[in-house]
Copies of this chain bind each other. A is one copy, B any other.
Amino acid sequence: MTTRRRPGLGTNQELARRHNLGTVLRHVHGAGQISRAELTGRMGLNRSTIAALVNELEALGITERALPAEGIPRQGAGRPSAGVRIAEDGPFVIAVDLGVDRAVVARIGLGGRVLQRSQAPVRSDGEAWQVGAAVAGLIRCVVEGVPDAAQLVGIGISVPGLVRNSDGLIRLAPNLEWHDVSFGGIVLAALGLDVPVSIANDADLGALAEHVRGVAVGVDDLIYVSGNVGVGAGVIAGGVRLEGAGGYAGEVGHLRFNPAGRECHCGNRGCWETEVGAHAIAEAIHCPSDKVAQLDEVLAGFGEPSPAVRATGTALGHGLADIVNVFNPRQVVLGGYFRSLYALVGPEVEAALADRALPAPLESVTLTLPGLGSDSSLLGAAEIALEPLFVDPVAALGTALVGVGTRLAG
């Protein structure tokens, strides 16, 4: 994953140094542990430059020296290159995965290490301030006992809805019935903290996490399609998050699917979501409506797929064909309850995709399950909160908060 600078900017020695420092950290973060020789190779810089950068990260307390890791091949015939790894008590972030029926909160360090986690049910008809208070409670849990010196870089929040990228405003979270909610501000107010908050759509964050440390590491063009009551997609294109002008890109759930079909909550008729959304599937398999949010588990309990489930698999594949034609991804990752659906009716999904996708984009795409299970969006939320560290580690640490455990214990 890379961050784009404003196009047309020049660069100078100081900008180059910060870029390099952040990029070294990004590599260590991605790999967990990496040798200096490997860094030299990946970054195209010489050994002394890499050594200076690594020393600077170490002095900042972000990384530490490691013995050459077993299993990492030696570069050439010389002595093995010393390793760099994420420091034990380095900076951390708080990641929040807000679902339709539950919130998961975790304290996560560089390298994607989940240091502590906590979760609680959320009422889907709850008001934003009630949900915010519940999330704040979970945050207090996960920072309990954190050493005072540990630095909180920021909070990342994943939400099942449309999030404006300029300020993190939740424009619409249909299944929470939220419109224009400043959820970041609500959580901070409930905590009494002032720390950077980043908010993004759950599917977008699923795509990000799968790209950084899931099934799509090294894959620059991927789509994470999430069945999570509603249906949405996160897109990584050319190694970069596709956000669109306002941050709303990827609303594949409302692709026109069957103009003669059912009414959708968006006001239209026959959107893809009316065929493969949780409510449609629940109806097809006679799942009680209070179990819709647990559709993943319900589907996982199926032995043999019924004809209705097979038909849903076909509808999933047909919609994926549109996505493949339009985005030409290398990988489509099926998240949320699509994991269980795909496990049940994978052949139907694949056949329908092959039936409708154009041959050229079809031949290079694979459908896969998430490498991070149900944690993709949670880990993606950590990634956006960590991002300032990769842009400019020194500046990000400068604004990080210490003593959080003590402050929130009160």
Contact = CB atoms under 8 A, between A and B. Distances in A.
Interface in A244-284: 244-252, 254-260, 266, 268
B364 A246 contact: yes
B16 A7 contact: no
A8 B20 contact: no
A250 B20 CA distance: 34
A308 B49 CA distance: 67
A43 interface: yes
A360 B10 contact: no
B365 A4 contact: no
Interface string A312-330: 0000001101100111111
A246 B360 contact: yes
A207 interface: no
B27 A254 contact: no
Interface stretch (A97-105, A117-125, A129-137, A235-243): A235-243
A4 B252 CA distance: 27
A244 B328 contact: yes
User: How many chain copies?
Assistant: 2
A246 B328 CA distance: 7
A251 B324 CA distance: 9
Interface in A178-214: none
B257 A256 contact: yes
A134 to B, nearest CB: 26
A322 B250 CA distance: 10
Interface in A337-396: 355-356, 358-361, 364-365
Contacts of A243: 237-238, 328
A23 interface: yes
B266 A358 contact: yes
B266 A172 contact: no
Nearest to A21: B10
B43 A8 contact: yes
A18 to B, nearest CB: 10
A73 to B, nearest CB: 19
A395 B26 CA distance: 30
B43 A4 contact: no
A365 B361 CA distance: 28
A7 B255 contact: no
Given A4-B240, A7-B2, A255 B254 contact: no
A113 interface: no
A11 B319 CA distance: 42
A45 interface: yes
Nearest to A269: B356
A248 B328 contact: yes
A65 interface: no
A385 B11 CA distance: 25
A326 B252 contact: yes
Contacts of A11: 11, 16, 19-20
A7 B221 CA distance: 13
A309 B63 CA distance: 65
26 contacts: A4-B240, A8-B27, A8-B43, A10-B19, A10-B23, A10-B49, A221-B244, A237-B243, A244-B329, A245-B329, A246-B361, A247-B328, A249-B326, A249-B328, A249-B361, A251-B325, A252-B325, A252-B326, A254-B356, A254-B358, A255-B322, A255-B325, A256-B356, A258-B259, A322-B322, A326-B326
The 10 closest A-B pairs by CB, nearest first: A244-B328, A2-B7, A10-B43, A245-B330, A10-B45, A249-B328, A221-B245, A248-B328, A251-B325, A171-B360
